[in-house]
């Protein structure tokens, strides 16, 4: 199984796969990040490979560009467009936060083994 397959697998299927691996007590209470980590360990894939470190600055540039469009839409009085841009900014920021969490978790796992 490859990194891409694991990352794009739905949570119920991940749970089934981790149950097959064994060695985990409460698979049902695990979230997707924990399930992915378990699968990566089982398939000997370094956790750092799951993190797209180089995409983070690109996402932040994208956020700034969408924020500029958002401001233009507000100034033009286009509420519908402004709402679309606001939602897009929200989703991009959420993506960067989840990547940051994953990076910190990977560092902690590497440090503590």
What is the tens place of the pLDDT at every residue in 28-49? 888 888 888 889 889 888 876 6
Angle (deg, nearest 10), helices 32-42 and 79-112: 40
> How would you write 69-100 as a 3-class SS string?
HHHHHHHHCCHHHHHHHHHHHHHHHHHHHHHH
Domain boundaries, the chain: 1-50, 52-113
What is the pLDDT at residue 59? 81
Round to whole Å and give the CA distance between 110 and 113: 5
pLDDT band of residue 51 (cuts 50, 70, 90) is low
Torsion, Cα of 97, 101, 106, 108 (10° steps): 140
What is the tens place of the pLDDT at every residue in 70-105? 999 999 999 999 999 999 999 998 888 887 777 777
């Amino acid at each position: 199984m490859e990194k891409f397959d694991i990352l794009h697998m739905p949570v119920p299927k991940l749970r089934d796969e981790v149950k097959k691996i064994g060695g985990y007590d409460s698979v049902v209470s695990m979230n997707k990040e924990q399930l992915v980590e378990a699968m990566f360990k089982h398939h000997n894939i370094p956790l750092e490979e799951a993190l797209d470190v180089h995409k983070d600055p690109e996402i932040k540039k994208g956020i700034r560009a969408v924020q500029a469009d958002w401001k233009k839409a507000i100034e033009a009085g286009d509420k519908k467009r402004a709402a679309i841009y606001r939602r897009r900014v929200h989703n991009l920021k959420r993506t960067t936060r989840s990547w940051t969490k994953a990076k910190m978790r990977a560092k902690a796992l590497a440090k503590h083994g």
